[in-house]
Structure 1
Amino acid sequence: SLKENYTTYNQRLKNKDNQRQKKWEARKAEFLFKQEEKNKKIGKLFLSYKNCETEGITFFIDKIILKLELPVDIKVDWEVTTDTENKIVLIDFRLPNKEFIPKTKSVKYYVTKKEFSETFITEKEIDRIYDLFIIQLSLIVQNTIYTADSENAIDSIVFNGWVNTIEKATGHPKTFCIISLQTKKDELKKINLALVEPKACFKQLKGIAANKLSDLIPVAPILEINKEDKRFVESEGISKKLESENIAAMHWEKFEHLIRELFEKEFSSNGGEVKITQTSHDGGVDAIAFDPDPLKGGKIVIQAKRYTNVVSVSAVRDLYGTVMNEGANKGILVTTSNYGPDAYNFAKDKPLTLLNGSNLLHLMEKHGYSCRIDINEAKKILKNN
């Protein structure tokens, strides 16, 4: 009957509705579960940031850079490295080449000819735009991070800008740094970036770059960290698995011989020589290197510090004073530990090179040494001696 058909039809609709309701509830439960898991993860990362830990600071900076409103639709990439002890952040930024800049200046349509006519931006203007964009990017990235850093987890930022290009002489791909800028939070926050001339501001902050960034001339980064070197550890764990010697705990006389041999090998390839001039029981070594290279050589003052604490800016000032007194071309300060932001800030516009523990291990590996650095282990050993 009609009534039975209606009842059956109605029941079928109810069954379908119940099935849809169950599917919706299942999807809702799945969504709420994923939402809760994501919120837990974000909560842990935020707590990590508040505690000034590496994972949290890296997450925080990634989110800040992702939200930057760049003037054009370009692809950028970056990598963040943190020194939580000294509140220093290193940002290695992959920069675009100038090809991303639109070359068309204007387009006109001529009705009588039924054709378009284009005018183009000059190469000189493209170079100017590129230089300005890169310098502004280095400033705005740092300023935005400082402004958002409500927990004061960051005191200093180093921005290294890297480009991928094809070397004209060989045709092979090459990656190198073309801009390096270090700032301190209290220093940059005093500057009104909305009204500055970017190049003048960059120069005042002692940024490093060629006169024309568009020429893609390599420069030495103010700070560079070998992120893949697992032999440099701040905590216990890895050290037990390594059989090589911990040079941060090495006797100062043995450390002196090691440094002398290391730099003799480094400079001997060019016919240079190294002479130890002074040693101290605190693990310090002074040496003079003579590099015969007519362009980048000359007299070089080398100071090495077998330290387990952060090297203060006073040690960098002392090195600079020695370089001036000796009439040397350059000074190199090497340590088994690390440097604070003031040390890098002082050295960045002077003929000084700061090599931290990671840099030292890289140099030693280059010349066949098998060593490691474990600061915590060294502190315990030196305390007991």
Structure 2
Amino acid sequence: MTSILIISPSLGHGGAERQLTELVKGLLGRGHHVEVLITQLVEGGYYEQIAAMGVKIHLIERRSKYDLSVILRVRQLIQSAEFDVIHPFLGMGSLIAVIAGLGLKVPIVASAIRDAKVPDIKIKVMSHVVARLADIVVSNSEAGFKSRFKRHGKNFRVIYNGVDFSRFKESPDDIARIRKELDLGRFEQLIGMVASLSDNKDHEALLRSFKVLKASRKGLGLIIVGGGPNRDKLERLAKELGVASDTVFTGHRSDVDQIYRCMDLVVLLTNSKKHAEGVPNALLEAMAVGVPVVGTRGGGTEELVTDGVNGKIIEPGSVSAAVDAILSTLDNYDPEMIERARESVRSRFSINTYIDEYINLYKSV
């Protein structure tokens, strides 16, 4: 049995936190001991789910942006217990862990890189510090390393996000409940996007594309799943474009695994001026369920989706490209492409592979 301390800034609603939760569940299922440390308590998210597994969650609050005492307090926790491995997630969690762990001789496996955007100088310095001090640095895409480093370090590893297919077992009762609650029965076809409502995502291009699509197609609906700071702005834009009555904003949902089954197409449009994806959970999950996908070129999305083989890839920021790809997909249902998508997830992105690769890393250090 290995004793692992997982460190994360929070247990909020993000894709990294989703993968962290799946890892905790898998490690416990294989008989390992896991504790989790967070530096911020976020309402909702995965806190309650992890706590319900019987995992001890330490809150060492980061009182301000420049609160360096958090490093000392994390160090004291590491010294007070007998952890075999420290496993931080995300850039800030990894930076805190590698500094707090200096000289303690506890191996650090840092899942530090979760996107593939070209970083600003602060993130670049942080990434290089983590790469120098951690025993292993993990990215969830090859593109993530390429965005930050000129050379692939000896301690770099790529572990792709994992999908637990059992999460997506069809539940007719839940689907019926969701369709009634969100009034989805009024739509003949439904386009969906599952993502944070932040500047990293291009919901604006999606709404503008939807306006064009609505002009030529009746019975078409759009469902936007997720929460974030841009919700009010996007709801106003939907009204300005005249598509608000056919656009459903759901906010954060815990039943997204069944919401996918209400969709005819999942789109993930990324704002390439601000962000590049690692390997996006939303596309992975949609492909696992059997929903066709359209994603934007760049980052790790192309490590998951091969254009015309298991989904469609379009240029970022192009409304016309989005419209063409959406129409083409909706009008030409391709069961062979859907099966190729499922198989690519099953063979390369399974939850068992994801957990096994981390366990092997723990053993190697």
TM over 0.5: no
> Bigger radius of gyration, 1 or 2?
1
Which structure would you say has the larger RCO, counting Cα contacts within 8 Å and 6 or more residues apart? 2
Higher strand share: 1
TM-score range, shorter chain: under 0.3
TM-score by length of 1: 0.24
